[in-house]
Amino acid sequence: MPASPAGRLEVSFASLKGKRQEVVGLVVGQGPEFAGLAEELDQSCDGGLSRAAKTAQFEGKAKSIVDVLAPSGLKEKRVLLIGGGEVAKSSEDDWINCGGAAMGKLLGTKSASASLVVETGAEGELADHDIAAAMALGAFLRSYRFDKYKTKKDDDGDKGSKAKELTTLVIHCAEPKKAEKAYQRLQAIGDGVVLARDLVNEPANELGPEEFAKRAQELEKIGVEVEVLDQKELKKLKMGSLLAVSQGSSRPARVVVMSWNGGKKSEAPVALIGKGVVFDTGGISIKPAAGMEAMKGDMGGAAAVVGAMCAIAGRKAKANVVGLIGCVENMPSGDATRPGDIVKSMSGQTIEVLNTDAEGRLVLADVLWYAQERFKPKMLVDCATLTGAIMIALGKNYAGLFSNDDDLADSILEASKATGEKTWRMPLDKAFHKMIDSKNADVKNLGGRWGGACTAAAFIERFVKDKDTPWAHIDLAGTAMDAERNDINPSWGSGWGVRLLDQLVADKYEG
């Protein structure tokens, strides 16, 4: 696994009778009815936990929490009653979010370690060891922070000493070995999300195209084959569309090819393609200064692809998957592409560049074409922080989904439902293609004011070589960066898309 932030949460599993930490979270189903260890602890403090629950009107609803301080008769200094909701009906994602909510409260205790007791006793699709593993992933994701550039840490007010940070979580359940095995898969996914968050959060002065490529190369440690195409090779491949974006910057472009060969040798791979604009000024069509700093996250699609490759390789998926990212910086200079310029893409199609701030589609055009030429994949999915228009349409909780194939679209929507990474299908139509027809070239990179996300998707569709190849475009401009915080995401860079892509591969393409 590539480098993660300092203070990474260490998760372990123990039996219900194993030694507990001084801060304990007890998962209680809706009702609530204390049972097993929870009942024992309640009896040890003469019913103090059940009285606290009654006083707080705690009914065990999902993610509801009651904090009981210094319960009399218990060695535990603090006990959190954590609502598990209707246990029998809860999905893995429900438990992941419950684990995140619990971790949010545990982080506030200023303890270095804590225990979480999972003993639901309910009969549902998930056994307690699966629930324990899911809650561990939620806790891991919630514990994320990005403070590597801070030289001064916040203190707890006690003579300037540093506040304790929760770095150790012990999860108690009936079958800890099974929980640990179940968590191995989820930990790989968590590692991928964390990697994507790190990449999006990095400032652009630290993460240029070359640095991004080097970060992707670290995946070789977990068995991913990584190849980096430099400026000379990109020119030789005639990637004129991608290079038109990068030519205004002093930092040369890179295309990174990541291959995971976990399936049959004869089987065509799944291809994931990501837009990796490490910083987007808009080029000559420069953006307003206000908020431009957020454009360090304009590589959120590429981050999702790298994170997904980390997850897929980390859990040793039985599938052949290639991930390709186009890494560029879009800057204004004397060498920059001008509005009105016509460039030639790798496909041979000419593009009239009406607005240099519609640059992501120029990057994807060449990387998408290269992926098809070289790998002849069975399916294509591209991810990009492509348009502000998608946020106008869907807000910041949903990503826009465009696809030429109903079966692929349905599979993505199912993966979306399973992971909670929400997508909404948007239309592809001949009318949008008509809006990007150019009088001076084969296509123009701007379709006008209306339907901006749809005309952008139509542009990318022009570079799907074989129209029978299932292809999907995910516009995650609203979800990859500065998305709404939730139970498992406290970060500006959300790592959105990693779980979705991994779930898609697991559900549809693993043998």
**Both tokens of residue 186?**
């989820």
CA distances from 133 to 95, 286, 337, 488 (A): 9, 47, 50, 14
**DSSP readout, 406-451?**
HHHHHHHHHHHHHHT--EEE----HHHHHHT--SSSSEES---STT
Cis peptide leading into 32, omega within 30 of 0? yes
CB burial string 342-365: b at 16+ within 10 A, e below: bbbbbbebbbbbbebbbbbbbbbb
- Expressed in percent and rounded to 5, the helix, strand and coil fractions of the chain are 35, 20, 45
Nearest residue to 269 via CA among 368, 378, 407: 378
CB 317 within 8 A of CB 223: no
Q: Which residue out of 361, 444, 462, 499 is catalytically annotated? A: 361
Query: Distance from CA of residue 70 to its chain's centroid?
Result: 38
Q: How many other CB atoms are found less than 10 A from the CB of residue 154?
A: 9
The phi and psi torsions of 147 (rounded to 5 degrees) equal: -135, 25
**Beta-carbon contacts of residue 61 (< 8 Å; ≥ 6 apart):** 30, 83, 85
Nearest residue to 328 via CA among 256, 403, 426: 256
Alpha helices in 31-127 (DSSP H): 36-44, 48-55, 92-107
**Both tokens of residue 483?**
């998305």
Nearest residue to 443 via CA among 247, 241, 188, 258: 241
Amino acid found at 91: S
CB 382 within 8 A of CB 301: yes
Annotated catalytic residue 287:
yes
Amino acid found at 267: E
**Beta-carbon contacts of residue 427 (< 8 Å; ≥ 6 apart):** 402, 454
Helix (H) or strand (E) run with residue 170 in it: strand 168-172
Helix (H) or strand (E) run with residue 247 in it: none
CA distances from 6 to 110, 162, 488 (A): 17, 15, 18
Helix (H) or strand (E) run with residue 107 in it: helix 92-107
Annotated catalytic residue 8:
no
Burial class, 21, CB count within 10 angstroms (exposed 0-12 / middle 13-18 / buried 19+): buried
Q: Which residue out of 287, 417, 425, 465 is catalytically annotated? A: 287
Q: Which residues are catalytic?
A: 287, 361
